[in-house]
Amino acid sequence: MPKNDSLKPWWMLPAGRANPWWWALFAAVILALDYQFALDARAPSGFVIPTMLAAWYSGPWAAAAVAIGMAAAQAGFILARATPDALTTVLLTLNALRGGIILLIGLWFARLADHERALEGRVRTLEGLLPICSFCKNIRNDAGQWERLESFIAKRSEARFSHGLCPDCQKTHFSEFA
């Protein structure tokens, strides 16, 4: 059955996993640009993006590594550019605070991604037209084989079945026992 992603919000990132080293490379590029052009003063939110992507696609450990690594590299930049004084201490303190906030955002985003994946795993819907036999109610599956309605639905959802007789069928088929 084709998967229908049209019900997802437009802003939701696609599901999947990626090697954490991609985010380390992405963070290194941003850090190199920051070191070269002092972008941190103009766009400090640029550190959030690799952390969020690492969280979504590689999990909380990758997000933590990217957030801490970027904050540590930025602290190194501050120390390399400045002479030790009170301003340097303030900049390092603000950098540590920002790094902690970005770390928390990354961990929260990783949790959101895990929650989204868990929901996708739990919500399995039956969509589209189902080829069903008019008489026995068997359903033709993707392989072209006919299988019982109950097993077809049970394989594709969390539904379980119990069987009984409705009053009409009991009258029609088993009236002699009533």
Domain ranges within the chain, ordered by starting residue: 20-122, 139-177
Q: Rounded to an integer, what distance in angstroms lies between the CA atom of residue 63 and that of residue 175?
A: 67
Per-residue confidence (pLDDT) for residue 157, from 0 to 100: 77
Which residue's entry shows tokens 């303030």? 90
Residue 99, pLDDT > 60, answer yes
Per-residue confidence (pLDDT) for residue 13, from 0 to 100: 66
Per-residue confidence (pLDDT) for residue 128, from 0 to 100: 66
Give 5-41 as a DSSP string: -TTS-TTSPPP----HHHHHHHHHHHHHHHHHH-GGG
Residue 107, pLDDT > 80, answer yes
Lowest mean pLDDT among 10-14, 69-73, 84-88, 146-150: 10-14
Q: What is the mean pLDDT of the chain?
A: 81
Quick one: which of 43, 33, 42, 19 has its CA closest to 73? Answer: 33
Per-residue confidence (pLDDT) for residue 1, from 0 to 100: 40
- What is the mean predicted confidence (pLDDT) over 155-165? 81
75 phi/psi in degrees, rounded to 5: -60, -40
Quick one: which of 102, 38, 107, 115 has its CA closest to 70? Answer: 102
- What is the mean predicted confidence (pLDDT) over 35-61? 79
Per-residue confidence (pLDDT) for residue 147, from 0 to 100: 92
Residue 45, pLDDT > 90, answer no
Residue 126, pLDDT > 90, answer no
Q: Mapping DSSP to helix (H, G, I), strand (E, B) and coil, where does residue 77 land? A: helix
- What is the mean predicted confidence (pLDDT) over 75-85? 82
**Interhelix angle 48-58/86-122, nearest 10 degrees:** 30
pTM of the model: 0.60
136: DSSP letter: T
**Which two three-digit tokens encode residue 153?**
């639905």
Q: Per-residue confidence at 175, pLDDT binned at 50, 70, 90?
A: confident
Q: Where are the beta strands (DSSP E) in the chain?
A: 139-140, 146-147
Q: Decide which of 108 and 98 is more confident.
A: 108
Residue 67, pLDDT > 90, answer yes
Number of H helices, E strands in the chain: 6, 2
